[in-house]
């Protein structure tokens, strides 16, 4: 029976060496690392469950030489396993769970912050849209005012041109009126001169003519 167990341990040790170069302490109690492959006062240090060891060599007598954190020694092969013990795996899973939970909390907080930022951006976008619509309306109003101003300017130019024409016509009428008045004055002066002249002639001729008839 012991021989079968020894052969099984040797086969297990051989498979451990050939499969990978690391093994783990499986027992829940601390396992001693010894300086020699014998029991006695040769314990170098105690290794807790789940400690990861580097395999140096495995022997047929149920001992495996390992290295851990700079210490080299021998451990009974049956306390070694290719996989971490369930307790260590559970602890690792617990740490992973806590890390994931912390990450989820951070992500949830970040999600809330991003949602707040998105809401803020939506409000800003709404305000910008309103401002854009106001700007478009103001632009259209300015364009309409500009068109009206162009029309008024064109009408003003026409009025200025008409005003200049009226001033020119008024000046021509004034000139014609002055010329007419001057001509009428000359005509009256000439007519008066002729009347005066004929009056003087009649004043001289008519008395002489009357006196001659009396004689």
Contact status, residue 80 vs residue 49, Cβ threshold 8 Å:
no
Beta strand pairing status for 52-58 and 22-25? Answer: antiparallel
DSSP E strand boundaries for 26-153: 31-34, 43-47, 52-58, 63-68, 71-76, 80-81
pLDDT class for 92, splitting at 50, 70, 90?
confident
Architecture of domain 2-84: Roll (2.30)
Higher per-residue confidence, 207 vs 30: 30
Q: Is 69 left (phi over 0), alpha (psi -120 to 50) or beta?
A: left
**Residue-level pLDDT at 99:** 92
Cα–Cα dist 1/193, whole Å: 181
Residue 114 has pLDDT above 90, yes or no: yes
Nearest to 74 by CA among 33, 17, 26: 33
Cα–Cα dist 11/20, whole Å: 14
Residue 12 has pLDDT above 50, yes or no: no
pLDDT class for 66, splitting at 50, 70, 90?
very high
| CB burial string 88-111: b at 16+ within 10 A, e below | beeeeeeeeeeeeeeeeeeeeeee
> Which two tokens mark 57?
């060599």
Over the stretch 115-173, which tens digit does the pLDDT of each residue have? 999 999 999 999 998 989 988 988 888 989 998 888 888 888 888 998 888 888 888 88
Angle, CA 124 vertex, CA 123 and CA 130 arms, to 5°: 90
Residue 47 has pLDDT above 80, yes or no: yes
**Residue-level pLDDT at 9:** 47
Residue 85 has pLDDT above 80, yes or no: no
Higher per-residue confidence, 27 vs 30: 30
Contact status, residue 23 vs residue 67, Cβ threshold 8 Å:
no
Cα–Cα dist 18/180, whole Å: 141
- Give the mean pLDDT of the chain: 80
Residue 16 has pLDDT above 70, yes or no: no
pLDDT class for 108, splitting at 50, 70, 90?
very high
Cα–Cα dist 149/155, whole Å: 10
Cα–Cα dist 46/25, whole Å: 11
**Residue-level pLDDT at 73:** 92
CA dihedral defined by 201, 206, 211, 215, rounded to 10 degrees? 110
Least confident residue range of 14-18, 75-79, 105-109? 14-18
Contact status, residue 31 vs residue 79, Cβ threshold 8 Å:
yes
**Residue-level pLDDT at 1:** 45
**Residue-level pLDDT at 7:** 44
Domain ranges of the chain: 2-84, 85-165
């Amino acid at each position: 029976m012991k021989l079968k167990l020894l052969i099984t341990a040797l086969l297990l040790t051989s498979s451990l060496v050939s499969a990978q170069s690391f093994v783990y302490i499986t027992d829940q109690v601390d396992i001693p690392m010894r300086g020699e492959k014998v029991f006695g006062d040769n314990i170098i240090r105690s290794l807790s469950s789940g400690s990861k060891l580097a395999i140096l060599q495995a022997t047929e007598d149920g001992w495996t030489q390992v290295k851990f954190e700079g210490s080299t020694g021998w451990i009974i092969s049956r306390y070694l396993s290719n996989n971490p013990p369930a307790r260590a795996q559970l602890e690792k899973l617990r740490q992973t769970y806590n890390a994931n939970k912390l990450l989820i909390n951070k992500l949830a907080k970040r999600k809330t912050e991003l949602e707040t930022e998105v809401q803020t951006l939506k409000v800003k976008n709404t305000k910008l849209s309103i401002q854009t619509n106001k700007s478009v309306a103001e632009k259209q109003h300015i364009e309409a005012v500009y068109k009206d101003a162009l029309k008024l300017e064109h009408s003003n130019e026409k009025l200025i041109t008409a005003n200049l024409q009226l001033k020119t016509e008024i000046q021509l009428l004034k000139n014609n009126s002055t010329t007419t008045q001057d001509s009428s004055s000359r005509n009256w002066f000439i007519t008066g001169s002729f009347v005066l002249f004929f009056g003087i002639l009649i004043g001289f001729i008519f008395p002489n003519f009357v006196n001659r008839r009396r004689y």
